[in-house]
Amino acid sequence: MRDEGVERWPVKVDRIAKRRGIKIQYSPLDEELSGMVFYKDNVAVIGVNSKHHVRRQRFTIAHELGHLQLHDDVLRKGMHVDKVITMLNRDSKSAAGTVNIEIEANQFAAEFLMPRKFVMQYMDENDLDYGTVADEQAIEDMANAFNVSSTAMTYRVAKIL
């Protein structure tokens, strides 16, 4: 799924999902609920919190695509609902290693929205190196280019470099 004809950033995550026959539904949900994925009549449906920022919605879609790609057997047993997504699950639960599927889905989403080759290409095209990407404005510019949050981009760059 990761190389689905993606040639440039930002990755069109919603178009890729739709091309795969996945339905995306935007609905106002509780603030703590980012999204969910389930099957209805054998069609995968990703529910996205319409009250969240578009960048968070994009990460939610990518995260739920990760569940579809990595955890389909679990999903076919019932609905999977995700609370607020913390990038790379850097919270007490993930530190304890108790929610592996969430960690995996977050990693999938980060790699999907910010592929290593694109991040490196962006850095090359903009004369950025390890020192300059530590600059807040450089990270914000990269986040804007990839249409992700600055926090997501910070974690992704740190993981790559």
Res 93: pLDDT = 44
Which residues, 6+ apart, have CB-to-CB distance to 110 below 8 Å? 62, 87, 88, 152, 155, 156, 159
Query: How much is the pTM?
Result: 0.84
Domain ranges in the chain?
Answer: 13-113
The answer to whether residues 1 and 22 touch, using CB atoms and an 8 Å cutoff, is: no
Using one digit for the tens of pLDDT, what is the confidence trace for 144-161? Answer: 999 999 999 999 998 888
Using one digit for the tens of pLDDT, what is the confidence trace for 51-90? Answer: 999 999 999 999 999 999 998 888 777 766 666 543 322 2
The answer to whether residues 61 and 54 touch, using CB atoms and an 8 Å cutoff, is: no
CATH 3.40.50 fits 13-113, yes or no: no
Res 80: pLDDT = 64
Res 83: pLDDT = 65
Q: Mean pLDDT over residues 127-148, rounded?
A: 88
